[in-house]
Structure 1
Amino acid sequence: MKQYKARDKITQKMTRDGAIEVNAATGKQKRISKRAREATLLKTPEQQAAQDAQAAQPIPGNPAPDISPNAPPLPHAPGTEAAQDTGTAERVLEHIDGAHTRRASKKAARKAQAEAESRARTSRLQFTEEERATPELQPYIKKSDKAADRLDEARAKIPKEKKLVRERTFDEATGKGKTRLRFEEREKPQNYGSPHKNPLSRPTQEAGIFVHNKIHSVEKDNSGVEGAHKSEETAEKAAKYGARKVKEGYRSHKLKPYRAAAKAEKAAQKANANYLYQKALHDNPQIAASNPFSRYMQKQRIKKQYAKTVKAQGAKSVKNAAENTRKAAKKTAEGTKKAIAFVGRHPAGVCIAIGALLLFIMISSALSSCGAMFSGMINGIVGTSYTSEDADLVAVENNYAALETDLQRRIDNIERDNPGYDEYRYDLDSIGHNPHELASYLTALLQTYTPATAQAEIQRIFELQYTLTLTEEVEIRYRTETSTDPDTGETTTEEVPYEYFILNIKLENKPISELAPGLLTPEQLEMFRVYLETSGNKPLIFGGGSPDGNPSEDLSGVQLVNGTRPGNTAVVDRAKSQVGNVGGQPYWSWYGFNSRVEWCACFVSWCYNQAGKSEPRFAACQSQGVPWFQSRGQWGARGYENIAPGDAIFFDWDGDGSADHVGLVIGTDGQRVYTVEGNSGDACKIKSYPLDYGCIKGYGLMNWN
């Protein structure tokens, strides 16, 4: 009968001793791992030679193995191969662990050496005996040493701190690495100060605001309370200012050693660079023989090379930096010498080559500049102009002005639409905008637009520009009531509380130029500023103004006597008699206000009334005072020379084109204008300004005949 033999099935497995092959039919195992052979590649040539020499030594009692190329393979006893491989693997792992430990030890040593060099950094040059004996170099060597001494002294004053560091060392005897901790003294880094928030600061601030608001609500009824409150606020501000200055002084005192060290280091580098330049002059006499400009450029190159080398080497010795600088200076000098020699041998050829190069550059520039200039002009004009039709620009501007007119109508009818209040308090910004700001914004955002496509955007920008708020306020006030007893006929008086209802009306106006950065992308914002600067190359499209941008003067209503304006000294004397008044109560109450307002315009109107003039009468500078004079042709811009006593002078403090303050002109000496003003620090004061003072908006010119 035929006998069947099972087919061998070979599988591979990974064991602790490496990869093996297993015959599933016979159960025989064979190690196929070459890990020991691969691990030997990690050894250095010296280690491999030592191991081969040790393996070649015969074991006592056993013959030496034949290691000739033709020798047959050594026999191995069963079961010895796995043991030999396990021993080899253990030796290989021990060797790898030792290598890792040695690498970590070397890395820690290099790091410690770098830190030591960083701590021992110096800017002191090393001079040879020959250099110190050279008379030409001795002054500069002395300056360099002196600067280095000052730097070392300044660094010694920098505060120190002890830092716990960890270092890895390798013990050659045991072949093992170990880690140890030690304290190391180093310079304390500068502390630029991280704000430490006090958790009680915000509640304290809120409580202070609450108390101040409570005092504000009652101080108007009692001048003593108002004065005491203002004194207390001034004391608070002074205390805060003093505390801030004390902290700044303390911090400046702590940073003084660092500033001194930085200053000394800068001086040392300068002294070293000067020495290196003089050394280069001494070693290369051809540099000294050159012209002053060449010597100056050579000195600058040496300084740059020295600074670059010191910065690149960090904490390394300055000796290398000095050596590199000397080499660079010598190389530059040799190159300069060769160039001068070449020019000396071929002067005519060099001159012809330079002339031809200059002529070529001039012709090329002339040919290219004409086309570039023409195309640049066209592109500049097109790129900075409004892209919409003129009719559309004007129509959109009129639509926006209609929204402002409707807003003014709402404000004028507030008392009619909200009756029943005892007092209406107004805090209103002026209503108006710069037409070119609106056109520049819409062009940057929409490019070409029409009234229909821009309607939604102008409605949105209008709501962002103007904010009108109405706030109701109720105050408890007291009035004196008298009553008579019908039986006894006795009359009594008592203070009876009652509710006083106030409606606060506030209008805020944010110019479009302040809103644009939050509504446009960076590219659109850049275009907005370009359009605004050039007025879209259409400065007169919205009317008004002059192409040259100079201020205009309307003097058609000004009365002149013998070519001059006499003015009115009586109204000036009346205004000067009010100097020293604080609070302005006589003036704003005369105007009709029940409580304090910004009263500079009320003061001017009161002075005119005292002089027998019923007009002008205004309480707002930009919306009432300026239009009164301009509409009658009695307006002179800043720089108008024929001003007279009694004229009104308007100021624009923030330069936004709107008048913020007004006073009366006393006179001028040709250099300065002298004024008397109300509400100057809440008081009547005499002031003076240069005639070309930038905050003077213009003059309201009064007629007195």
Structure 2
Amino acid sequence: MYDYNQDDNVGTEALPYGQRAASDAHKLTKKLIKKQIQRRQIERARAQAVQQTSRAAAEAGKKVAEEAAKLAKSAAELMRKAAQTVVEFVAANPVVLVILAVILAIFIVMQYTKVGLTALLGSMGDTFMAGTYTAYDEDIIGVNSDYTKLEKELRKTINNTEKDFKGFDEYEYQLEEIGHNPYELISYLTVVYENFTRRDMKQKVKELFDEQYDLKYFQRTETRTRTVTRTGYRTVTGKDGKPVIEKYTYEAEEEYKVKILTVKLNNKGLGSVINSKPLREVQKQRYQMLLQTQGNKPELFDDLYTDIEIPDDLEVPPEALTDQTFAAMIAEGEKYLGRAYVWGGSNPKQGFDCSGFVCWVLNHSGWNVGRTDCNGLKAKCTVVSEAEAKPGDLIFFKGTQKSKKGATHVGIYCGNGIMLHCGNPIQYTSIETKYYRNHFLCFGRLPKN
């Protein structure tokens, strides 16, 4: 189980661990109580305002009724006289009857339209509320931070594999990308738990995380053969005709055993986990609406960027940028350097996964490839050899996601053995590392745009 707590311990470092923990817990409890009190005060203030408004409306209604009763008596006599005058006037002027009918029709249409607009505005208000996150911003951001922290811990666990599992000759990594769409997370929690709090969601977040990711280790021993040089001795006849023992070397095949640890990470995707949940139809519809509107709070996750520096050995070759097409691709792609990987993401608002990022760059630098996956992009390309590959070609990898066949990762080749791709985060990466060499599939060249 991961530790979610990141509470400030300033002023308590000198205390023994047990007292410091108790002090921290006390501070957290005070904060939560204070927040609950504030919410209750707001709710009471709203209730009092409604009551005062209701009382004022009732008193005003009573006065209006009394005045109306007084006027009704005198109005009846006036109406009788007015009606008699109107009848006499219409009899003398028939065209007036037509004008009155038109005025009456306009009045009826206006009344109907007024009711329709009222209903429409009410419907629009309901739609706006249905597409809005109801939890406090700090709780929304906090819940997503808890999920991200679990992912960081998972990545740290994988990175420490060779330290934690010593004694193996080789380590194999079969890893799918780590990342989630924060809007999927918050939209789902809103639909199911409405105005949730960060504290109440910790266990729910852990459950979703455990369903999304599956990390397993497998060990095996392989028997292999290798060619070795050995030393032997043999008896030969010397120059004097006497037997002499001679030392010589020879090559031989020998078997040896290799102990291998395989690290395998499957990522179902948070969206797939949510879609497997038994939501009611109305909940499914609202979930989709919240994804579309981003809870009417699209700015909440603007911190999806990470400050990164580009090492000198990963700089794009200056001569490659003389190609206007490739320069346009790099100009678009570099806008999102440091952007965190988001499973299924395909635009700057959602974030990007590997294929989503490449599709976006291509669609905004002259091509029209739509939104497709790695195999879809590969199908649009002509395969070229590594010797023929040039900046602007796509580079494909296989086996990075064991649940998928064919191409499972894609990047934009920049020359000099580097690529621009959506890892985690979007960055320049050498393709000469052991991992990418082991998973290399092919280079692909898109048709001219």
TM-score, normalised to structure 2, is 0.47
Q: Greater relative contact order: 1 or 2 (C-alpha under 8 angstroms, separation 6 or more)?
A: 2
TM-score (structure 1 length as normaliser): 0.31
**For the pair shown, which has the larger CA radius of gyration, 1 or 2?**
1
Structure in which a larger fraction of residues adopt strand: 2
